[in-house]
Amino acid sequence: MPTPSVDPLIKLLRLADLPAYKALRDGMLADHPQAFTSDAATELTRDADSYRSRLSGGADGANLFTLTAWSGSQMVGAISCEHEARVKVRHVAHIVGMMVSNQLHGQGIGRLLLERALALLQGEPVLELVTLSVTSSNARAVRLYESCGFQRYGRLEGAIKLPDGQLVDKDLMCRRLR
């Protein structure tokens, strides 16, 4: 397991962090259109305050939390975890919006964020399963998720259609928490 070459501070997303979160997200969406279902042009028109739903307990409790990674005053990564309140599926959490700054890819920050998120999820007694989707061709991300216990249970072919018409597949992965 790689040790991060920077020593990032991991903390929950706060209201004051929303502009930094938007800046990181806008950059990731623009640089990696195949990795996210949101598109850069649409998200660019949103203001930072529109990401309040990513705060802990946001969107009527659907967002469990968003963890952020900081190198000094720069947000360099983020991961969000959501779940539904419906009785039959409230035991399932979903990891969404995992991102790490381009200049820090491969330095262990994504692993650190994912491991911290999994530890928080395991602390929630109602949760038993966590899911995520990842672009099938993103071998580095797939390896990270597999090394943290996720298993592929399906593939959604053509899950994302890029502006040039290219179709991108997503792997659907899950991991038992207990």
Residue 140 pLDDT: 93
Q: What is the mean pLDDT of the chain?
A: 91
Residue spans per domain, the chain: 9-132
Q: Nearest Cα to 57, choosing from 124, 8, 122?
A: 124
pLDDT tens for each residue of 75-113: 999 999 998 889 999 999 999 999 999 999 888 999 999
Q: Nearest Cα to 136, choosing from 126, 128, 146, 127?
A: 146
CA distance 96 to 94: 6
Please tell me which residue, 55 or 169, carries the higher pLDDT value. 169
Does residue 5 carry a pLDDT above 70? no
CA distance 124 to 47: 31
15's CB contacts (< 8 A; 6+ apart) are 52, 55
For 9-132, which CATH class? alpha beta
Residue 60 pLDDT: 58
10's CB contacts (< 8 A; 6+ apart) are 67, 68, 69, 70, 112, 113, 116
SS3 of residue 131 by DSSP: strand
Residue 4 pLDDT: 44
**What does the pLDDT average to over 146-153?**
98
